[in-house]
């Protein structure tokens, strides 16, 4: 069980010098638009994932006009207290520290701090490309299966070799067996996790939409058996040669969300998509906990931009029951005051500075 106890910033985006103590496991940064709320949440995400949820350009983190940028979090779990820190200089050089010791490999910091985030564009998980849903499933599988990452890497290597052979007009069939071997391993794991999630997705969805049904269906591009996979690959040979690319494989797997038996992304409303994607994030928290025994921290940017009060309350109650740390941002604080007056620590963000309430 990890909790952030303290957060420090220097020159991170519009935040100059901030030092904040979290007195509660439910913290909400509140403030008007463009004050720095999302920047704060982004910095926490960065400490855990070594990248941002919005910008891929590291140098963007540096407060304009400053020489360096620094973010540090002090964390506490059942047995220890430790700190993770990110430094960035004006040349774009990033350094990570664990307990003030410079990390040689960033692998050492990954998994120390696990974050599940919900941001305003998370609903793309429902209405966006299948790749988004594949990534979502894969991340859950990582937390229960230590071999899975390697299997995905191996698959991608074989795929790359096969594609090179296709492009160069060489014999690409020599890669078929391996491609299928890894594809089938990965498909069976993806299938299993979808079956596990399915029940919980239905259960949670019913709490919000009583008269509607939901399902999640996994459709592996190569099927489930070697015979099926071989014949599918064969049918595609001509096309693949023309395009110089393997058009089938787990990189093309479909994961469909069905609402009232219709493919969700084709017909649901934005609000529905947001709620379903939120439920998927809750399931991610549940599964990570169940499988890895670790408690992720939940980051929730822009609370209440799509739900009515009773639904939002229900949603927050569901996450709060999980007994994890929730770090949220909102442009509205009255709601928090009325719903969670005793249990939320409200911190006002104004022009890159903080005011504790
Ligand atoms: N590198 C940077 N240097 C200085 N300021 C920056 C930098 N990057 C972003 N900002 C500024 O930080 C401000 C706050 O951004 P942020 O996304 O945190 O706002 P917010 O409080 O979440 O607002 P909203 O309610 O609109 O989502 C923005 O106005 C942006 O211009
Ligand atoms: Mg914001």
**Sign of torsion over alpha carbons 198, 200, 201, 205:** positive
How far apart are alpha carbons 297 and 318 in whole angstroms? 14
pLDDT tops 90 at residue 148:
yes
pLDDT tops 70 at residue 143:
yes
The residues pairing with 84 across neighbouring beta strands, listed in sequence order, are 73, 98
Q: Which residues contact 9 (CB under 8 A, 6 or more apart)?
A: 15, 16, 17, 18, 19, 40, 43, 70, 71, 72
Choose the residue to mutate in 12, 15, 31, 34 for probing ligand 1, maximizing ligand atoms within 8 Å of C-beta: 34
Asked if residue 64 has its Cβ within 6 Å of ligand 1, the reply is: yes
Ligand 1 center from residue 211 Cα (angstroms)? 40
List the residue whose alpha carbon is closest to atom 8 of ligand 1: 13
Q: Which residues contact 25 (CB under 8 A, 6 or more apart)?
A: 3, 323, 324, 325, 326
Asked if residue 287 has its Cβ within 6 Å of ligand 1, the reply is: no
Retrieve residue 254's tokens: 């479909």
Of the chain, the percentage scoring pLDDT greater than 90 comes to 74
Query: pLDDT digit string (tens) for 76-102?
Result: 988 889 999 999 999 999 999 999 999
**Lowest mean per-residue pLDDT among 66-70, 245-249, 337-341:** 337-341
Atom of ligand 1 nearest to the CA of 64: 3
Q: What is the mean pLDDT of residues 280-301?
A: 92
Asked if residue 305 has its Cβ within 6 Å of ligand 1, the reply is: no
pLDDT tops 90 at residue 57:
no
For the sheet containing 15-21, what is the strand order? Answer: 15-21, 3-12, 68-76, 81-89, 94-98, 101-102
Closest by CA to 277, choosing from 251, 253, 252, 307, is 307
Atom of ligand 1 nearest to the CA of 61: 1
Three-state secondary structure call for residue 213: coil
Q: Assign 9 a pLDDT band (cuts: 50, 70, 90).
A: very high
> What's this model's pTM, rounded to 2 decimal places?
0.92
Asked if residue 43 has its Cβ within 6 Å of ligand 1, the reply is: no
Atom of ligand 1 nearest to the CA of 41: 18
Report the 10 Å Cβ neighbour count for 256: 16
List the residue whose alpha carbon is closest to atom 25 of ligand 1: 33
**Sign of torsion over alpha carbons 205, 208, 213, 216:** negative
The residues pairing with 21 across neighbouring beta strands, listed in sequence order, are 6
How far apart are alpha carbons 58 and 93 in whole angstroms? 9
The long-range contacts involving 36-40, CB below 8 angstroms and separated by at least 24 positions, are 36/349, 36/351, 36/352, 37/301, 37/329, 37/330, 37/349, 38/119, 38/301, 38/302, 38/329, 39/12, 39/13, 39/14, 39/15, 39/352, 40/7, 40/9, 40/15, 40/329, 40/349
Atom of ligand 1 nearest to the CA of 349: 21
Query: pLDDT digit string (tens) for 236-268?
Result: 999 999 999 999 999 999 999 999 999 998 889
**Residues surrounding ion ligand 2 at CB below 5 Å:** 37-38
pLDDT tops 70 at residue 111:
no
How far apart are alpha carbons 324 and 116 in whole angstroms? 11
Q: What is the mean pLDDT of residues 149-155?
A: 96
Atom of ligand 1 nearest to the CA of 35: 21
Of the chain, the percentage scoring pLDDT greater than 70 comes to 97
**Average model confidence (pLDDT) across the chain:** 92
Retrieve residue 153's tokens: 């890497």
Ligand 1 center from residue 351 Cα (angstroms)? 9
Retrieve residue 118's tokens: 């919900």
Asked if residue 36 has its Cβ within 6 Å of ligand 1, the reply is: yes
């Amino acid at each position: 069980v990890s909790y952030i106890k303290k957060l420090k910033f220097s020159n991170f985006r519009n935040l100059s010098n901030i030092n904040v103590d979290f007195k509660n496991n439910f913290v909400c940064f509140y403030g008007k638009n463009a004050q720095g709320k999302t920047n704060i949440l982004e910095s926490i995400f960065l400490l855990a994932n070594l990248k941002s949820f919005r910008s891929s350009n590291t140098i963007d983190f540096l407060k304009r006009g400053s020489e360096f940028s620094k973010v540090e979090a002090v964390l506490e779990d059942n047995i220890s207290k430790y700190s993770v820190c990110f430094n960035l200089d004006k040349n774009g050089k990033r350094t990570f520290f664990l307990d003030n010791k410079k990390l040689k490999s960033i692998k050492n910091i990954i998994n120390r701090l696990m974050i599940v985030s919900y941001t305003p564009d998370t609903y793309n998980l429902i209405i966006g490309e299948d790749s988004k849903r594949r990534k979502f499933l894969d991340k859950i599988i990582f937390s229960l299966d230590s071999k899975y990452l390697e299997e995905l890497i191996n698959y991608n290597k074989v795929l790359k070799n096969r594609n090179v052979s296709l492009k160069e007009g060489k014999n690409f069939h020599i890669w078929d067996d391996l491609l299928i071997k890894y594809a089938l391993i990965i498909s069976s794991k993806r299938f299993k996790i979808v079956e596990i999630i399915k029940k919980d997705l239905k259960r949670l969805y019913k709490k919000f939409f009583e008269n509607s049904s939901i399902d999640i269906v996994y459709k592996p591009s190569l099927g489930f058996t070697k015979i099926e996979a071989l014949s599918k690959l064969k049918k595609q040979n001509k096309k693949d040669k023309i395009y110089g690319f393997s058009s089938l494989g787990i990189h093309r797997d479909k994961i469909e969300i069905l609402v009232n038996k219709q493919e969700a992304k084709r017909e649901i409303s934005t609000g529905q998509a947001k709620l379903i994607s939120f439920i998927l994030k809750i399931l991610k928290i549940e599964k990570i906990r169940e499988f890895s025994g670790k408690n992720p921290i939940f980051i929730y940017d822009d609370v209440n931009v799509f739900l009515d009060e009773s639904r939002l309350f229900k949603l927050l109650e569901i996450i709060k029951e999980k007994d994890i740390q929730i770090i949220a941002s909102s442009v509205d604080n009255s709601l928090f005051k009325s719903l969670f007056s005793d249990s939320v620590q409200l911190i006002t963000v104004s022009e890159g500075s903080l005011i504790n309430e």
